[in-house]
Amino acid sequence: MATAVVAYGLSRRSLSGAALAAAAAPLAYRGVTGAWPGFSTRASDTRVALAGHRGIHVREAIRLEVPVEFAYGFWRRLENLPRFMTHLQAVTDLGDGRSHWVADGPGGSAFAWDADIINDIENKLIGWRSIAGSDIATAGSVRFSPARQGRSTQVSVNLQYAAPGGRAARLLAFAFGHDPAHMIREDLRRVKQLLEAGEIARAAKGAEA
């Protein structure tokens, strides 16, 4: 199913850049970034690239046995993300809500983009999108809600990716493999292991999963 979504997303992108520029209702994008109604979003090519049903959408959720403040605080330090998102090499906080992301590319290469946090509600929500002109157009949000009378936190991730050109499409295909939902699920499993057990389970040397 998820493989089909990738194939669909990639084939859409290979049609033409013009298709991507077509106007579409920004509802999906708003849902992904967690923008509240009335939140002012600047128009950008990211918004256009991810409008409507374009690109890859992934929605996954996980429950963590830590209080919501702890989960939010860990996530908000973006440098922590590569500790459980294995396709990321590094995330650097550049200040003023901007961050620099470096991910694994094909053949041991790397590719990078910058992103802005466009929505940040303490202990509730972090929403971001890549800045205009990036190789990859990406937007996403992580929602934190208390569960089990506040002993646990439910984390809901909503991600959207699109790449406007040939090279970016290849990078994207590499970064997300054949099953982006699976990859995000495994990322969430690792963050759960890290925050609850303090370490990521592995059975053999070199194996992270």
Partner 1 sequence: MKAVCYYGKEDVRVETVPDPEILNPRDAIVRVTATAICGSDLHIYGGYIPTMLKGDVLGHEFMGEVVEVGPETRRLKVGDRVVVPFTIACGQCYFCKEQLWSLCDNSNPNAWVAEKLYGYSGSGLFGYSHMYGGYAGGQAEYVRVPFADVGPLPVPDSLRDEQVLFLSDIFPTGFMAAENCQIKPGDTVAVWGCGPVGQFAIQSAFLLGAERVIAIDRFPERLALASSFSRAEVLDYSRVDVPQALREMTGGEGPDACIDAVGLESHGTTLDAWYDRAKTSMYLATDRPHALRQAITACRKGGTVSIPGVYGGWLDKFPLGAAFAKGLTLKMGQTHMHRYMPRLLDHIERGDIDPSFIITHRVALDDAPEMYRTFRQKQDSCIKVVMKPGVETRATA
Q: Measured from the CB of residue 178, what is the shortest distance to partner 1 in angstroms?
A: 14
Q: Which amino acid is at 90?
A: A
Q: Measured from the CB of residue 132, what is the shortest distance to partner 1 in angstroms?
A: 36
Q: How many Å apart are CA 181 and CA 5, to the nearest integer?
A: 10
Residue 82: in which H helix or E strand, if any?
Answer: none
Site string for partner 1, 131-170 (x = CB under 8 A): -----------------x---x------------------
Tell me whether residue 40 or residue 205 sits nearer to partner 1 (CB atom).
205
Q: Does 182 bind partner 1 (CB under 8 A)?
A: yes
Tell me whether residue 21 or residue 201 sits nearer to partner 1 (CB atom).
201
**Interacting residues with partner 1 between 6 and 65 (CB under 8 A):** 63, 65
β-bridge partners, 119: 127
Q: Which of 8, 28, 23, 34 is nearest to 121 (CA)?
A: 34
Q: Which residue has the tokens 């939010």?
A: 72
Q: Does 203 bind partner 1 (CB under 8 A)?
A: yes
201: its two tokens: 């389970």
205: its two tokens: 């040397």
The residue range among 41-49, 104-112, 166-174, 196-204 that interacts with partner 1, by the rule CB under 8 A, is 196-204
Instruction: Pick the binder of partner 1 from 42, 77, 178, 202 (CB under 8 A).
Output: 202
Evaluate the CA torsion angle 112, 30, 6, 86 in order and state its sign.
Answer: positive
Tell me whether residue 66 or residue 112 sits nearer to partner 1 (CB atom).
66
The residue range among 75-83, 89-97, 129-137, 181-189 that interacts with partner 1, by the rule CB under 8 A, is 181-189
Tell me whether residue 94 or residue 197 sits nearer to partner 1 (CB atom).
197
Tell me whether residue 10 or residue 200 sits nearer to partner 1 (CB atom).
200
Q: Which amino acid is at 89?
A: Q
Q: Does 87 bind partner 1 (CB under 8 A)?
A: no
Exposure string (b/e) for 145-178, b if CB count within 10 Å is 16 or more? bbeeeeebbbbbbbbbbbbbeeebbebbbbbbee
Q: Does 201 bind partner 1 (CB under 8 A)?
A: yes
Contact partners, residue 58, CB within 8 Å, separation at least 6: 2, 157, 158, 159, 160, 180, 181, 184
Q: Which amino acid is at 160?
A: Q
Determine the size of the site formed for partner 1 (CB under 8 A).
22
